[in-house]
């Protein structure tokens, strides 16, 4: 079965607002106030540790032991307010629905912890659109190792030789290359069309275009 696998943060949904809020909650608890803003959305979509590193670097206090100590507190803050600002990108639900109706399997492969990803998808009302979800801690490996992508495809009932990964980052490009799966990168994230610098198999400018794009990139 043909299969389309999606990254979550920055691909299916703009989660940057809630991620930034969780990081700023940590910085306030440190006594530093809010250190990150909307211009840091790209860093937010690279995960909690990336946000902590950026904020601490602005304080001149970057230390990996501090990052490690505050990361669980950031996750707790995020879990408590995971869907305040998060929104699915326009056309995402209709596009995934159209793929499923056309006979594609759909799955998610994310570097967000699995429990958080499951909770967010349920809150957004779209968990049932995906036959499988593999998170950062589902396996011993995480992206860009190919194992999570291969697992997501297998659990969804897909064929790795007839699959596509839709993502938003260099990590996704590297994952696809390691797994032998073509990658389409969204051009509506923080970097916009500049993401073409990563030379993906295709750029996705709007989710409305995905069913036709998947039909071209995945052998029938």
| pLDDT score recorded for residue 5 | 98
User: Which band of pLDDT confidence, cut at 50, 70 and 90, is reported for residue 1?
Assistant: very high
Average pLDDT over residues 214-220: 92
Residue 54, exposed/middle/buried by CB under 10 A (0-12, 13-18, 19+)? middle
Q: Is pLDDT at 219 greater than 90 in this prediction?
A: no
| pLDDT score recorded for residue 34 | 97
| pLDDT score recorded for residue 189 | 87
Residue 173, exposed/middle/buried by CB under 10 A (0-12, 13-18, 19+)? buried
| pLDDT score recorded for residue 191 | 87
Structure tokens at 51: 């946000």
| pLDDT score recorded for residue 21 | 98
Average pLDDT over residues 152-180: 97
| pLDDT score recorded for residue 73 | 97
User: Which band of pLDDT confidence, cut at 50, 70 and 90, is reported for residue 38?
Assistant: very high
| pLDDT score recorded for residue 156 | 98
Average pLDDT over residues 120-144: 98
Q: Is pLDDT at 183 greater than 90 in this prediction?
A: yes
46-91, pLDDT tens digit by residue?
Answer: 899 999 999 999 999 999 999 999 999 999 999 999 999 999 999 9
Euclidean distance between CA atoms 21 and 27, whole angstroms: 10
Structure tokens at 85: 């600002």
124 in Cβ contact with 18 (< 8 Å): no
User: Which band of pLDDT confidence, cut at 50, 70 and 90, is reported for residue 195?
Assistant: very high
User: Which band of pLDDT confidence, cut at 50, 70 and 90, is reported for residue 190?
Assistant: confident
Beta-strand runs (E) in 87-214: 87-88, 105-109, 132-134, 163-167, 183-186, 202-204
Catalytic residue IDs: 7
Q: Is pLDDT at 105 greater than 90 in this prediction?
A: yes
| pLDDT score recorded for residue 158 | 98
% of the chain exceeding 70 in pLDDT: 100
pTM of the model: 0.95
């Amino acid at each position: 079965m043909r299969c389309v696998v999606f990254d979550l943060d920055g691909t299916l949904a703009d989660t940057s607002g809630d991620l930034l809020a969780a990081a700023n909650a940590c910085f306030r608890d440190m006594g530093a106030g809010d250190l990150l803003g909307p211009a840091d959305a790209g860093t937010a979509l690279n995960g909690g540790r990336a946000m902590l590193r950026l904020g601490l670097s602005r304080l001149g206090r970057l230390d990996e032991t501090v990052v490690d100590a505050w990361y669980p507190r950031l996750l707790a803050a995020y879990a408590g307010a995971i869907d305040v600002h998060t929104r699915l990108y326009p056309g995402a639900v209709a596009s995934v629905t159209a793929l499923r109706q056309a006979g594609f399997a759909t799955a998610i492969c994310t570097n967000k912890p699995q429990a958080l990803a499951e909770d967010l998808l349920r809150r957004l009302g779209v968990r049932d659109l995906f036959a499988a979800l593999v998170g950062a801690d589902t396996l011993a490996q995480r992206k860009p190792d190919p194992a999570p992508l291969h697992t997501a495809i297998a659990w969804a009932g897909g064929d790795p030789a007839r699959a596509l990964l839709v993502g938003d980052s260099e990590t996704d490009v590297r994952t696809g290359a390691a797994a032998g799966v073509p990658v389409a990168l969204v051009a509506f994230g923080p970097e916009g069309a500049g993401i073409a610098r990563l030379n993906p198999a295709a750029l996705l400018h709007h989710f409305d275009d995905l069913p036709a794009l998947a039909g071209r990139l995945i052998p029938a």
